[in-house]
Structure 1
Amino acid sequence: MKKALFITLILASTYGHAAQDRIEKVANPGQINIVKDGSSVSLFYIRVSDFPKGVGSKPKKLSKIEWHTTHYPENLNEKVELCYYPHGSTTVELCENISPNASDHTEIFNQHVFDYYSRAMIRHKIKGGKKPGRPAGQDKIVFHYTY
């Protein structure tokens, strides 16, 4: 009896927890042609091939997004935002203001559906400065998710 109870508890604790994984993406935001102001984006698409074998068909949820942004050092008044498009959506679900040339993470998108065809975007907006505006580096996102 004790052995059966022990095995039941072990199995319940094993199957009661969601698995976790991460997908890392890097993109170049590109130069900004400035008239009065301008913007450029880095898009991060999730594809079926980004998931480990056997995970593609399982339901997934975001647990956090880590981000690292570049900046436009020769331009003025830069503002940056991180936006999330859920699985299959063509419209932005939610955006959060983040800092240029910085690293952090956000949990604001937690519990949103996450699957292939989900995507995130880092948008850089600048006003004035050297024309055209050129980024100092790359933007990077790491999607953390459970399934």
Structure 2
Amino acid sequence: MRLGGEMLMRAGFRNVVLPVLTGLMAVVAVLPFTAHARCYGPAKFQTCENLNDGARIIVAHEGHNSVIMGVDPGTGHTFQGFATTLGQTTYSSNIDFHGRVSFESLDSYAPSQYHIEGRNFDKRPYTYQCTILLGCY
């Protein structure tokens, strides 16, 4: 599993990732995930499991900052991510198991509407508009 905008498309933006990002931006908390993932622990340090693919993610929060660590269940490879929220924008940087870096910004410009842009692990730029009802396009 990759963190970043392209991962959002594959992971099911509406079902798993959007509730996490909404929580990060609103109250810097991962809850609510949805019925497709299960999280345990207090809001400052949670362990979450994606019920669709078995991916396990650890999320730690402090103020407007979050650290995400996880394991891809298909390969056993790890990934790490860091996010900080300033106003309506969340900035993240991610490292995959090869040590490649991706960057992303997520702007919340209206309730349940987001603009995401960044550079993936292959250094290719991407841009998405996302809504809670339609997903990303």
TM-score normalised to the size of structure 1? 0.25
Q: Hey, which of these two has a bigger chunk of strand by percent? A: 2
Q: Which has the higher contact order (CA 8 A, sep 6+)?
A: 1
**Higher Cα radius of gyration:** 1
